[in-house]
Amino acid sequence: MDKNQIAETFKNIQDHICQALEKADGKGVFQEDLWDRAEGGGGRTRILTHGQVIEKGGVAFSAVHGPTPEKILQKLGLKKADFFATGVSIVIHPESPMVPIIHMNIRYFEMSDGTYWFGGGIDLTPHYIDAEDAAHFHQAVKNTCDAFDPAFYPKFKKWADDYFYIRHRQETRGVGGIFFDRLVATDEMPFERLFEFVQSIGTLFPKVYTHLMQKNKDLPYGENEKAWQQLRRGRYVEFNLVWDAGTKFGLDTNGRTESILMSMPPLAKWTYMHEAAPGTAEAFTLAHLKKDINWI
């Protein structure tokens, strides 16, 4: 299993996910942009807009290589080295405020000095938190993790709570999920098995999200819920542009801007000092944008 096989597998996962999302949406079709990176490699960015359920969704694959950006070298305390990075990244903004936003990412990074790691995550951002949906989502993620290592879910769930956190709002981005980075093989978890774990997060994504699409897409909503959705999307923007390490790194190192910012919502709103009225579904949601909630 070498880096090119990993990239090929990720490509197949992208294909699989796009097919599943198109089928569940029933109307939208992904448009593909192929792009090259001047320093080496490139990607396939796929965007679906104005679907029946998905207002704007991006499923991106990339495999890039070349001299390691100075910022990474500094972080790792390394001198010159070449790097290779491949991954699949997804953000889906649904039309209905009753369907949650979701994000998924799996990635592999390797350097010419032999350093490598896997990373990834999946997290759910409901505009309206539904405890049952959150439990379903976390249970599915936990089951996937448990098949590999029972220590994964508790560790990666906490990591997600800490990572997907809008510090300046003291709010989590949503109900969390898992986040992991710099995973390397061990005696108990050889490289191939670790890669299988990462793949299993990729294949979990369409299963769990199409379920949430189907379950919620026909729920009624009105202007009030649409306005709330736009406010929550504003928070999503704040997280991604201020705190998300991947976005920051991409924009800092001259990545492909339109692929990095495919995570931006179609329409977002900011209202000064907006407050949710007590007892409303909005207030319930705000009260549950907290770390360390055991959703299961």
Question: Residues interacting with its own copies, by CB under 8 A?
Answer: 33, 47, 49, 56, 58, 167-169, 230, 234, 237-238, 241-242, 248, 251, 254-255, 257-258, 260-262, 264-273
In the complex with its own copies, the residue whose CB is nearer, 65 or 93, is 93
In the complex with its own copies, the residue whose CB is nearer, 170 or 203, is 170
- We find the least distance from the C-beta atom of residue 137 to its own copies, in angstroms, to be 25
- We find the least distance from the C-beta atom of residue 237 to its own copies, in angstroms, to be 6
Q: How far apart are CA 172 and CA 286, in angstroms?
A: 9
Tokens of 41: 């490699």
- We find the least distance from the C-beta atom of residue 273 to its own copies, in angstroms, to be 5
Q: Tell me if residue 50 is catalytic.
A: no
- We find the least distance from the C-beta atom of residue 133 to its own copies, in angstroms, to be 26
In the complex with its own copies, the residue whose CB is nearer, 136 or 173, is 173
Q: How far apart are CA 86 and CA 90, in angstroms?
A: 14
Q: How far apart are CA 10 and CA 109, in angstroms?
A: 13
> At residue 68, what are phi and psi to the nearest 5 degrees?
-65, 130
In the complex with its own copies, the residue whose CB is nearer, 135 or 237, is 237
- We find the least distance from the C-beta atom of residue 275 to its own copies, in angstroms, to be 11
| DSSP codes of every residue in 37-100 | -TTSEEEEEEEEES-SSEEEEEEEEEEEEEEPPHHHHHHHT--S-EEEEEEEEEEEEESSTTSP
Q: How far apart are CA 26 and CA 257, in angstroms?
A: 29
Q: How far apart are CA 274 and CA 224, in angstroms?
A: 13
Find how far residue 289's CA is from the centre of its chain.
17
In the complex with its own copies, the residue whose CB is nearer, 254 or 280, is 254
Kindly name the residue from 16, 50, 65, 103 that is annotated as catalytic. 103
Q: Taking Cα atoms as reference points, which of 288, 280, 271, 278 lies closest to residue 235?
A: 271
Per-residue b or e along 206-240, where b marks 16 or more CB atoms closer than 10 Å to that residue's CB: bebbbebbeebbeeebeeebeebbbbbbbbbbbbb
Q: Which residues are catalytic?
A: 103
